[in-house]
């Protein structure tokens, strides 16, 4: 497989993996680089490394935006030999350290029907846990460039991390923002997700390039529109729960469609019911 990075700002490049439309962002400084997310398998990560080396020879630090397989299962290929720093939110790091078998099994089950070859690779992938953890915010120096890693709150997961490159006005959001499909709610916090995206909007300017977890880079107005739909969904969940309506009622009115809406409603009901 052959991948290619495309510049989106000064010294910031984005690669779109074609199978699942996952984005990887490469930030290049003076003598150092940063890779945000590492794709799904050793094979994908190897192709990613080749694409990064076509842009820069500099050593890289890694960031995982969260612990889902398509964003971090390439860690071992990119950071084990030679050892390189890997940053993630503390809960994502714990998942990759303590729940490796469960994460591999879940990835296999998710992919086996539509992408059996990828599922087989996932089942045998060696996982590498992050070496550095972020609680709320960490600032990195990437070859003289200030790069901010921030946890904006619960949203797509409880361990989302965004990457802000202020001098290029680029914000990498992971799956807190999605362009090529609706947000994924399977492990989400739909009642809190709007607040997390509102925090992202406070980090932007009108000219900010926003790199979503999946799909084409977008502008701030796209993020505002997605925030409005997330807020609408959160209101629907609260109102339906208060009125004793079933989650299917939320699904019927969901701004993201019935299937994502039903998943979000069930997650939201669990939260309102005080379930862990």
**Nearest CA to 47 among 83, 104, 106, 5?**
5
Distance CA(122)–CA(115), nearest Å, equals: 11
pLDDT of 148 reads 98
pLDDT of 191 reads 98
pLDDT tens column, 224-257 = 999 999 999 999 999 999 999 999 999 999 999 9
214 to each of 40, 98, 245, how far by Cα in Å? 13, 26, 33
pLDDT tens column, 152-203 = 999 999 999 999 999 999 999 999 999 999 999 999 999 999 999 999 999 9
Pairing of strands 22-28, 12-17: antiparallel
Q: How confident is the model at residue 126 (pLDDT cuts 50, 70, 90)?
A: very high
Tell me what the pLDDT averaged over the chain comes to: 97
Tokens for 73?
A: 């299962």
233 to each of 166, 247, 250, 270, how far by Cα in Å? 31, 12, 8, 15
- Which domains are present in the chain? 5-219 (3.60.15.10)
User: Per-residue DSSP letters for 194-223?
Assistant: HHHHHHHHTT--TT-EEEESBSS-B-HHHH
Collapsed DSSP state (helix, strand, coil) of residue 265: helix
pLDDT of 141 reads 98
pLDDT above 80 (res 62): yes
pLDDT tens column, 72-87 = 999 999 999 999 999 9
pLDDT of 116 reads 97
pLDDT of 1 reads 80
pLDDT of 276 reads 75
**Are the C-beta atoms of residues 85 and 109 closer than 8 Å to each other?**
no
Distance CA(48)–CA(66), nearest Å, equals: 18
**Are the C-beta atoms of residues 128 and 93 closer than 8 Å to each other?**
no
Distance CA(8)–CA(22), nearest Å, equals: 16
pLDDT of 275 reads 84
pLDDT above 90 (res 258): yes
Placement of tokens 């709150």 in the chain: 153
Mean pLDDT for the stretch of residues 36-52: 98
Q: How confident is the model at residue 139 (pLDDT cuts 50, 70, 90)?
A: very high
**Nearest CA to 71 among 119, 118, 106, 23?**
23
pTM: 0.97
pLDDT above 80 (res 46): yes
pLDDT tens column, 10-35 = 999 999 999 999 999 999 999 999 99
226 to each of 180, 185, 231, how far by Cα in Å? 12, 14, 9
89: number of Cβ within 10 Å: 27
């Amino acid at each position: 497989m052959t991948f290619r990075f495309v510049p989106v700002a000064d010294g910031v490049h984005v690669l779109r993996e074609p199978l699942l439309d996952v984005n990887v962002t490469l930030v290049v400084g003076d003598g150092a680089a940063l890779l945000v997310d590492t794709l799904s398998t050793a094979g994908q990560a190897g192709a990613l490394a080749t694409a990064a080396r076509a842009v820069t020879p500099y050593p890289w630090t890694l960031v995982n935006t969260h612990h889902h397989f398509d964003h971090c299962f390439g860690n071992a290929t990119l950071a084990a030999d030679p050892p390189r720093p890997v940053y993630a939110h503390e809960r994502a790091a714990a998942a990759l350290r303590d729940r490796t078998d469960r994460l591999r099994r879940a990835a296999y089950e998710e992919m086996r029907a539509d992408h059996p070859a990828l599922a087989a690779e996932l089942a045998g992938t060696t996982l590498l846990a992050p070496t550095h953890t972020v609680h709320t915010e960490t600032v990195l120096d990437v070859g003289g460039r200030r790069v901010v890693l921030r946890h904006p709150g619960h949203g797509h997961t409880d361990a989302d991390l965004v990457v802000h490159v202020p001098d290029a006005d680029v914000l990498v959001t992971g799956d807190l923002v999605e362009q090529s499909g609706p947000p994924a709610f399977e492990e989400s916090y739909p009642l809190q997700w709007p607040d997390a995206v509102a925090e992202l909007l406070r980090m932007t300017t009108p000219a900010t390039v926003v790199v979503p977890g999946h799909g084409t880079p977008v502008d701030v107005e796209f993020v505002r529109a997605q925030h409005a739909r997330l807020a609408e969904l959160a209101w629907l969940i609260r109102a339906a729960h208060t009125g004793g309506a079933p989650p299917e009622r939320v699904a019927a009115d969901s701004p993201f469609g019935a299937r994502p809406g039903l998943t979000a409603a069930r997650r939201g009901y669990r939260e309102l019911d005080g379930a862990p």
